[in-house]
Every structure is written in structure tokens, then in C-alpha cells.
Chain A
Amino acid sequence: MEASLLRLICSKISSRTRFFNLTLCNETVQQISRCSSTFNQTQSEKFRTAFRTEINDPRHHTLDHVGLYYQIPQEEVNGVLKTTIKESDMRLMKTFNEYCLMVRKPALELNGYIKNFNLNHPVPRFLLYGLKGAGKTCIMQYTMQHFHRENWIILHVPWAGRWVRGWYKEVSESSYKPGRYDTPTDGAEWLELFKTQNQGKLKNLKTTSEYIWTKREKAEIGTPLEEIINFGQTRIKFSSDCAGVILKELRKQAPLLGLKVLVAVGAVNAFYVQWDMLNALKNSEKKRLQPGEISLIHNFKKMLSPTWTHGVAVCTADVFANSELTRENYTPLYVLKQEGFEALDPFVPILVPEYTDKEALSNINYFIDHNWIQNDHGKTDEGKKEIIFVSNHNPLSLHKICSSL
């Protein structure tokens, strides 16, 4: 009797929320046998407030989980996702005492593409673009977490705009090639990030050629990559060169050793469009630097060209890395400008839309569950509708509005 009822219910349930329902079914089977009509009511209420999945592994997420929250373990927040999570979000997570992300459709789409890609082909480029606050960076975090669990090596630039600005930064001419400029602090910072994000994955990697730093110091063939990272961190002067060495070695060795490399760059347009405000980087002759002249950027640009295999590049296009006068649109050609578009072409553009009604509701329900929305009117259906309307379905403005309720 019960089994047949269960089948009947499962068939009624729409495909989107099936997983959530199945977990509910076991609890409520006994209720059903008593009274089926009340069961339908309570279930519909639970649908409305469903905002969470039990599956915390991004590898097992499907389209059924779109709009639901899943939990990230603490080690990954301090490991792979370090410095990627925004400060305000991090503060919220600390207050809630748990780290949660929402599963979104473009993220699943992107992960599906990467999973089904034949890695023997040259590197494909995926470009995430969308309005401000639509969730481009969050989707990159999701992808990074997914492929970190599959033991990919991750090369991550949190926000490339940082590398082209900063009047306080030290800029020195490269000892490797004249006409190129090093930013020692940025290089050391990136090496530190690379080390924390790839703990335990770099053990077997060794250099395949000799690198001479100065007359007395050099790295022999077969030096472990970890040693090069340490050298870059202690001798900050060579940090940009060390980063270049690591990128070059990975490019060379990925097809030989069967490594898989994920290159994730936030705001790629900073690589191609010159930043022309007052705080742009300048050389000793007070001349503004082109992005290509900065050695870190020069090296990372090579990772985005389809000259190597066994890797995937995911980038975001952020208008806010461009100058203030050109922030009207968010489409790839407008943001990357002609030069950047041609450099990345052909790439797969992925539009990151704003929240759908379902996602916005699940976000609000998540906040209510964690006691974040205190206004009594905000907890009613009418209030939820109003919040969604005022935020215009934009995730960032929804967060801002809810922060004062």
C-alpha cells in the first residue's frame, strides 16, 4: 500500500524539486496513509520554503538543485576559496556560523562544458559576463571548488584590476627582459595564493630546464616547484619571474604528466584595456605602463592563448576594471574592447543572468531562516514580493536591501 502511494507521489512531483521531495517522503509516508489531502497542503508549503539541499558536493548537483543552497566545508574556505569570497559575504557567513553558496544555472552549464571537453584539444576560453552583482565571481568560485575536488591544479587571479593600479606599489624593471616591469609585492601575493590553493598537488612537479636568477643563484634542472615558490617569497625581487617559471612549467608539463589545469581570471579586461586613472602604475620616468608591459600580466596572457593543451581557462568580464567613462554596457565586445576580444577569440560566452523568481525567493527564505530579516512585514508573502521588486532581481542589491531590514 505504502509503496504504491510513494510511487504515485513521486510521479506527481515536478522534476525540479524531486530530490527535495524524496527526502520529505520518508518522513511523511505515515501521514499520507492517514489523510492524503492534508499531506498535499503541507507539502506545498514546504516547497515554497525549500532553499537548501543536502548534497554538498558540487560534482553531484543537477538542474534539480538550481536555486538551492549547499554548504562548503571550512577547509575549502581557507584553502581553495581563500580571498575569492567578498569581504561583506565573508562577514555574513561568519555571523551565520556556516558557509553556504547557491547553485545556479550558468554554473552547472559551465561545469558541464568543462567536464565533457576533450583535454587533448587546445585550451578553450569561457567568458562569464553579466550585470554588476549578478554573481559572476560566485560562479567562478563554484567551478573552482568543483574542479579542486577532482584534483585539478588551479591558477587563480582574484581580480586582475589590482595588478594595474596602486600608486604606492614598488615598480622595478625586469632583470630578465628590459622594457618589462615587475611588481614584487603582487608577485609574492600571488605565489602565496597559489601555494594555499594547491596544497598537496605540487609534490611531484619539478623543473625541466635551468633558470639563472643572478650570477651566483640558479635553479638546476629537477628543482621542485615548491622550492621555487619559497625562493620567490623570500627574494621578493624575483617573485614575478618565479610566477612566470611556474606558469611555463605547468604549460610544458601538463600534456606530458597528464595534469589538468584550471586557469581562473577575474576581470580579464584589465589585461587588455589600459587603466588611465591617477593611480595607474608608472615606471621611473613617470610614464604609464601598458598592461602587457607588466610581467605578471604578460605571463598570464600566455595561459589564455590556445598554444597548450590539458587546461581550461575561465574568465569574467568586469566593467569596473575599466575607466569610469566606459561602464555603460556589460557585453563582451564593449568590456574587452577590440584588442581583448581579438586576443580571446574564439571563446564561449556565458551570460550570467540576475535571479529568477525562484532563486530570489530561496535567497530571502535563507535569510529568514538565519534570522537575518527582522522586519515582520519582510517575512510575509507580500513583503517578500516587495523586496524582490525593489531589488529588481539583482543579487547584490537584494543583499544590500536585506542588510538593513
Chain B
Amino acid sequence: MATPLNKVYGVMKVVLYVRKTCPLQFASRLNPCFHYSLIQVSRMSQYHPKYVDPIINKDELAEGIPENDIRRHRPIKAPTTDRSISPLFYDPTVNKFTVMMMKGGNKERVREIMRGLFENLKHTQIELWNKAKTDQERHAIECNPIEIFKKAIENCEPLLMIKRVVKGGVPYRVPVCARPNEKTFRAMKWIIESCRDKERRLPMENKLAWEIMDAYNNQGKAVRKKQEVHKICESNRAYAHLR
């Protein structure tokens, strides 16, 4: 081709055009100056697709960028406000959970709840740790609240999900493999929903702490919900070929 496509139509149009017409592996063959990163553009992004992600890690930043790195020649995105370089105050899972629990943009309140949650978890575990008499017992007690939190979410993650598929005018509930993002999303959603019942008018941090301690021990409402989904998948496994 004499002129590259993206100069004629503009970047976004080319991306959409390429997505519609030809599969990924042909995109670069169509145009040699076409970079792979252009294809992974998200439609709502405020940034031009030329911008690349910033380096958040402090050690990585100190090392410097290699000579042939693309970041030397491209503009860089500004880091978002919820990212932090400190391993003290930033954890991607916790951040995701915080954002999911937020209502009406009131993140300050949710952060306070998360702080209370970790405090409660630590109080329950460290009290046990102090009461334990032998070293063996102490080793068995997990005191790190973030580890407990992650383990609890892992315990709530479903392996299979149900998808509605219409074949010949008849809807079927078809069990499908859950994608990793969907898994964590479901697990978090179930934990939050199970704590939002209006019967018990208690502080959210207390209810969350109980729910997470339960999920850590493979009990509680959220884990039961996962098991229910698994059960439905099991009963509908005859439709598995329809996906």
C-alpha cells in the first residue's frame, strides 16, 4: 500500500475498521507501521491511543528505561489518583473492592469502612494469637488482614457461571466457564450484598468482618451462594454443549 491507512482515515476509524473486517493477525500484515497497542484501545478513554501507561513502581523507575523502549518516544498518561507507589496503602484487590462498595461517589466513607474492617479482623486474630500457648498454634493463626481478605474472596469465587442462550426460540440456562475477572467480580458482589441486608442495623465494618471471617473458613452467605450456582450448573450440565 502506498499510504498507510491510519493517515487516510485517522487512528480510531482504522481500529474500528480493522476490528470489523479482518481478524487480529492480519492487521499488522495489512499495514507495517500499524502497532499492536493501537488495537487495544478502549472506546471511552480520554487519552489519545498514542499515550502509554506510566511506571508506578519506585524501584523500576530508579532502574531507568532501556534504550529501545517505546516509552522514550511516546507521551505518558498521568497516574490516576487512587494509585499509590506505597505498598503500605495500595493494594489492587482492596482498591477494586472499595470502588465496588462505593455509593454516590462517596469514597471517603468507604475507605473509612475498609479501615474499620481491617482493624476488626486484626483485633479478632491477634487476640487469638495472644491467647495461644504453643508456637505451633500461633503459626496456624493468620494475622495479616489483607491475606485473610484475599483468601476469603478466593473462597467465594465460582468456577462455573450460568449463561442464558436462546436456541430455536427456547431459552436454556447453559453452564459456562467463568472468566477470571468475572470470578472476582461475582465473589466481591456476593460478599457486599450479603452484608447489605436491612434487618441487622449494624455498622457495615462489623458485618463485613464477620462475613469475611466466615468466608475465610469456607462458611457464610457468600460461599453458600457460590455453592448454589455450582448446583444449578450441575443440574443443567446436559446443555453444556450449547455454549
Contact = CB atoms under 8 A, between A and B. Distances in A.
Interface of A: 91, 94-97, 370-372, 374-378, 383, 386-387, 390, 400, 403-405
Nearest to A403: B119
A96 B123 CA distance: 9
10 contacts: A95-B123, A95-B127, A96-B126, A370-B126, A375-B146, A377-B86, A386-B86, A386-B88, A403-B118, A404-B114
A370 B127 CA distance: 11
Interface of B: 86-89, 114-115, 118-119, 122-123, 126-127, 129-131, 143-146
A400 B115 CA distance: 8
A403 B122 contact: yes
Given A95-B130, A404-B115, A372 B122 contact: yes
B88 A377 contact: yes
Contacts of A376: 87
B123 A371 contact: no
B144 to A, nearest CB: 4
Contacts of B119: 403-404
Contacts of B127: 94-95
A387 B88 contact: yes
Q: Which of B114, B115, B131 has the most CB of A within 10 A?
A: B115
A374 B86 CA distance: 15
B111 to A, nearest CB: 9
Nearest to B118: A404
Nearest to B117: A404
A40 to B, nearest CB: 32
Q: Which secondary structure dominates chain B's binding surface?
A: helix
A79 to B, nearest CB: 24
Nearest to B148: A374
Given A374-B145, A403-B119, A96 B130 contact: yes
B59 to A, nearest CB: 11
Contact of A91 (B87, B123, B145, B146): B123
Of all A-B residue pairs in the complex, the 8 with the closest CB atoms, nearest first, are A404-B118, A404-B115, A403-B119, A374-B144, A377-B87, A97-B130, A95-B127, A95-B123
A127 B161 CA distance: 66
Contacts of B118: 403-405
B88 A374 contact: no
B129 to A, nearest CB: 6
Contact of B126 (A371, A383, A386, A405): A371
A377 B89 CA distance: 10
Contacts of B131: 97
Given A375-B88, A377-B86, A377-B87, A95 B126 contact: yes
B87 A372 contact: no
Given A378-B88, A383-B88, 6 more contacts: A97-B130, A375-B87, A375-B146, A386-B88, A390-B89, A404-B145
A374 B88 CA distance: 10
Nearest to A378: B88
Contacts of B146: 374-375
A372 B88 contact: no
A390 B144 CA distance: 21
A272 to B, nearest CB: 33
Contacts of A370: 126
A129 B199 CA distance: 44
A394 to B, nearest CB: 16
A89 to B, nearest CB: 13
B19 to A, nearest CB: 42
A371 B125 CA distance: 10
Given A403-B118, A403-B119, A372 B86 contact: no
Nearest to A383: B88
Nearest to A400: B115
B126 A372 contact: yes
Q: Which of A96, A374, A375, A387 has the most CB of B within 10 A?
A: A374
A377 to B, nearest CB: 4
Contacts of B130: 95-97
Contacts of A405: 88, 118
Contacts of A378: 88
B146 to A, nearest CB: 8
Contacts of B144: 374-375
